[in-house]
Amino acid sequence: MKVTSLEISNFRGIRQARFAFHKRLNVFAGANGSGKTSLLTCLAMLLSRLTVPIAAPTRFGRRFAREDIAHGADAAWATVCVEFPDCSRTDRSCTWTAGRSLHSEKHSLSRLEEVRRLSAEISRRLDADQGASVPLVCLYAQSRDVESVPLGIRRGQPRPDQVEALEKSLSERRAGEVEKELARMAALITDEDFDEMRRSAQALAHKTGNIPALLKVNAVLTMLGEKQADLVSIPACNGQGRSRQEECPDA
């Protein structure tokens, strides 16, 4: 499954946004509060309307809440388009919209029957072949805890490994596994790369006076290298480039 586009309107802090995704890798960068987490949460909620019924046909996935509607707006909605190159019909695509209004307790979902048919089709393929592929959606929050969609399995049926993997990906992966993966990646980074990253972080911190950001960068470098990275000098309290000890001798 590949997500090709996403459009959001009045969801939390996002008023209007539209994204056309690259087919392989997409990176979102922005200041705190700019909407990165809201974007990913919205996407996860939309995709859950497809993935959750695969394991539990009577469930519907995550729905928009009244609190998700942006301040001053009457309704929030979002539209996602996905492609399934390996479905029975070549290059099959599906688009659906989910939303919530302040004036109704109902949750709207366009093309509901099409989404249900697609979930049922994937579920039937999984019943026939436990080695079949299923869509896998993971969202790891900044705290490295998992924002999960509870999943179930039809009572009385065996638990396919794919469904178990789907559930675990959304509910059990924790910081230890993430750190192991970071350590594996760190083995591919040379000492020269670490030195260059530290110099870049130091230059940026002195330029902006952003002490919290500098500490975060240093923590990541320490974790990646599986060793204590040398602390780069902390920018001055007034952000003018002198060290903390020069500006704040009693600190």
Could you report the per-residue pLDDT of 8-18, keeping only the tens digit for each? 999 999 999 99
Question: What are the angstrom distances between the C-alpha of 187 and each of 197, 222, 225?
Answer: 15, 13, 8
- Which helix (DSSP H) or strand (DSSP E) does residue 80 occupy? strand 75-84
Inter-residue contact 96 to 78 (CB < 8 Å)? no
**Cα–Cα distance for residue pair 140/131, rounded to 1 Å:** 26
Q: Quote the CA–CA distance of 102 and 74 in Å, as a whole number.
A: 6
More confident residue, 40 or 113: 40
**Structure token digits, residue 124:** 């039937």
The mean pLDDT of the chain is: 72
pLDDT for 99: 93
Is the model's pLDDT at 126 over the cut of 90?
no
Whether the pTM exceeds 0.75: the reply is: no
Q: Would you list the DSSP string of 136-152? A: ----B-TTS-B------
Q: Which CATH number fits domain 2-173: 1.25.40, 3.10.450, 3.40.50, 3.30.1400?
A: 3.40.50
pLDDT in tens, 187-244: 666 667 667 766 776 676 666 665 666 666 666 666 555 443 433 433 444 444 333 3
pLDDT of residue 32: 85
pLDDT digits 0-9 by tens, 137-165: 888 765 544 444 444 444 444 445 555 55
Residue range 103-123, pLDDT digits in tens: 887 777 888 888 888 888 888
Instruction: Say if CB 237 and CB 247 are below 8 A apart.
Output: yes
How far, in Å, CA of 110 to CA of 99, rounded? Answer: 9
Q: Are strands 2-11 and 75-84 parallel, antiparallel or unpaired?
A: antiparallel
Domain with CATH 3.40.50 in the chain: 2-173
Residue 174 has pLDDT above 80, yes or no: no
Query: 81, exposed or middle or buried, with CB in 10 Å at 0-12, 13-18, 19+?
Result: middle
